[in-house]
Copies of this chain bind each other. A is one copy, B any other.
Amino acid sequence: MSLEIIKEKVAQAVDILNEKNIDMWVTFVQETKVLKDPIMDMTVGDHSTWKSAFIINKDGDTTAIVGDMELENFVKSGVYKNIVGYLKSFKEPFVEYVKKKNPEKIAINFSVNSVLSDGLTHGMYLLLMDYLKGTGYENKIVSAEEIISPLRGRKSDKELAIMQEAVHETLKIFDMVTDYIKPGLSEKDIAEYVLNVTKGKGFGLAWDEETCPAVFTGPNPSNPHSGPTDRKIEKGHLINMDFGIYYKGYCSDLQRTWYVLNDGETKAPDAVQKGFDVIKDSIQMVADAIKPGVTGVEMDDIARNYIIKNGYPEYPHGLGHQVGKEVHDGGAGLFPRWEKYGNAPFLKLEERQVFTIEPRLPVEGYGVSTLEEEVYLTKAGCKFISNPQKELILV
């Protein structure tokens, strides 16, 4: 991530602190090579070996308290206005700083809802509470979820431009796959081809190589989080691919569906076409309804109910998630009301959030029909970042 965007996000964080009326936001970390609070990439950019605090205040002051031996690195990057170094004790300069600023509310990075806002470990939480014990500030702690979720969700113009490029580059790779696919190749062959192309272009992967890309062919394929297998592409089969790249610090995440014509076929069988149309239409219905202020569960309901109404089983996952620096990003998601999703389905969506829409259904005897598009929310609705697939791609 460029320093320019990091500085932009820190300035945005100050705005959000003012909007939410939180005085101080402390990101408290150590040994970030071993375990890194995911917000570090967005608001710090550097790594920390020793206990460090990156503090952003409502009044615009930004201060980093870091180990002496790493002070130079943070001075050089210039993201935080004041850099305080220490040798033996982190506690001392930290508690002194908090007392000097005298905040009414201090946000720290924990959340029972969003992993992106939950970068503080429990041991570090206990330490922090111990440092503040008896100062009164231990009673002023709040979750940083309501800072981090909008900070990650509300993409700046620069971030949107990069994400648009990332999707554009990803779709070019999908087009290359269209030319490459033919009966007899295995799922693994296609995955290998995609990996080679991606590495050749110098892009990273949006998630682990084992399942990025994930390629599925024919009836009863592996489940959606499995890696490619030795199954061969056959005529009369549906093929899907789930794939994204990591590009200039941001991820893309898309799916496309192909059908391999059988001998004598000039178009897909009706069952296959219907399976595709129901997915495509459900995405458009969601795109027509999604806008700031609605909740994710309402969006999931639209697609899920439409698919069930058409006689298919419901998809065994959420309709979509935010995308950003992480492939699963932000707080709110287009999720069903399942316990495991916590409060994420019920949060109001906001302008400039980027979501995937990725329903799925099985077409018996042929394979799976699934698409994944990316949209970003505008003031009144949404725009597609991806060029949505409107026709089944015939091979």
Chain A positions near chain B (C-beta within 8 angstroms):
30-31, 33-38, 47, 49-51, 67-73, 86-92, 110-113, 115-127, 130, 143, 207-208, 222-227, 316-317, 326-328, 338-340
Given contacts A31-B328, A317-B69, A339-B89, contact A118 B123 (CB under 8 A): yes
A47 CA to B143 CA, complexed, in Å: 27
Please tell me if the beta carbons of B123 and A121 are within 8 angstroms of each other in the complex: no
| Least CB separation from A118: chain B residue | B123
Please tell me if the beta carbons of B338 and A87 are within 8 angstroms of each other in the complex: yes
Please tell me if the beta carbons of B91 and A328 are within 8 angstroms of each other in the complex: no
A389 CA to B326 CA, complexed, in Å: 44
A96 CA to B344 CA, complexed, in Å: 25
Given contacts A88-B340, A123-B110, A339-B89, contact A118 B35 (CB under 8 A): yes
| Least CB separation from A92: chain B residue | B339
Please tell me if the beta carbons of A110 and B126 are within 8 angstroms of each other in the complex: yes
Number of copies: 2
A226 CA to B69 CA, complexed, in Å: 8
Known: A68-B223, A112-B127, A118-B123. 5 other contacts (CB 8 A): A30-B115, A70-B225, A71-B223, A90-B340, A112-B124
Please tell me if the beta carbons of A223 and B317 are within 8 angstroms of each other in the complex: no
Give the dominant DSSP class at A's interface: loop
Tell me, rounded to whole Å, the shortest Cβ–Cβ distance linking A60 to chain B.
28
| Least CB separation from A126: chain B residue | B112
Tell me, rounded to whole Å, the shortest Cβ–Cβ distance linking A174 to chain B.
22
A226 CA to B110 CA, complexed, in Å: 31
A47 CA to B30 CA, complexed, in Å: 23
A294 CA to B123 CA, complexed, in Å: 26
Given contacts A88-B340, A112-B123, A122-B122, contact A225 B31 (CB under 8 A): no
A118 CA to B69 CA, complexed, in Å: 24
Tell me, rounded to whole Å, the shortest Cβ–Cβ distance linking A230 to chain B.
14
Please tell me if the beta carbons of B87 and A316 are within 8 angstroms of each other in the complex: yes
Selected contact of A119 from candidates B37, B73, B121, B222, CB within 8 Å: B121
Chain B residues in 8 Å Cβ range of A126 = 110, 112
Chain B residues in 8 Å Cβ range of A90 = 339-340
Please tell me if the beta carbons of A89 and B317 are within 8 angstroms of each other in the complex: no
Tell me, rounded to whole Å, the shortest Cβ–Cβ distance linking A250 to chain B.
14
Please tell me if the beta carbons of A118 and B110 are within 8 angstroms of each other in the complex: no
Selected contact of A35 from candidates B72, B88, B115, CB within 8 Å: B115
Selected contact of A73 from candidates B51, B111, B115, B225, CB within 8 Å: B225
A340 CA to B51 CA, complexed, in Å: 7
Please tell me if the beta carbons of A88 and B339 are within 8 angstroms of each other in the complex: yes
Given contacts A72-B226, A121-B118, A123-B118, contact A35 B34 (CB under 8 A): no
Please tell me if the beta carbons of A326 and B34 are within 8 angstroms of each other in the complex: yes
User: Can you show 18 pairs from A to B with CB atoms below 8 A apart?
Assistant: A33-B326, A34-B115, A49-B328, A51-B340, A71-B223, A72-B223, A73-B225, A73-B227, A87-B316, A87-B338, A89-B339, A91-B339, A112-B123, A118-B121, A118-B122, A118-B124, A120-B121, A121-B121
Given contacts A50-B340, A127-B112, A339-B88, contact A327 B121 (CB under 8 A): no
Chain B residues in 8 Å Cβ range of A70 = 223, 225
A90 CA to B223 CA, complexed, in Å: 19
A130 CA to B339 CA, complexed, in Å: 13
Please tell me if the beta carbons of A225 and B33 are within 8 angstroms of each other in the complex: no
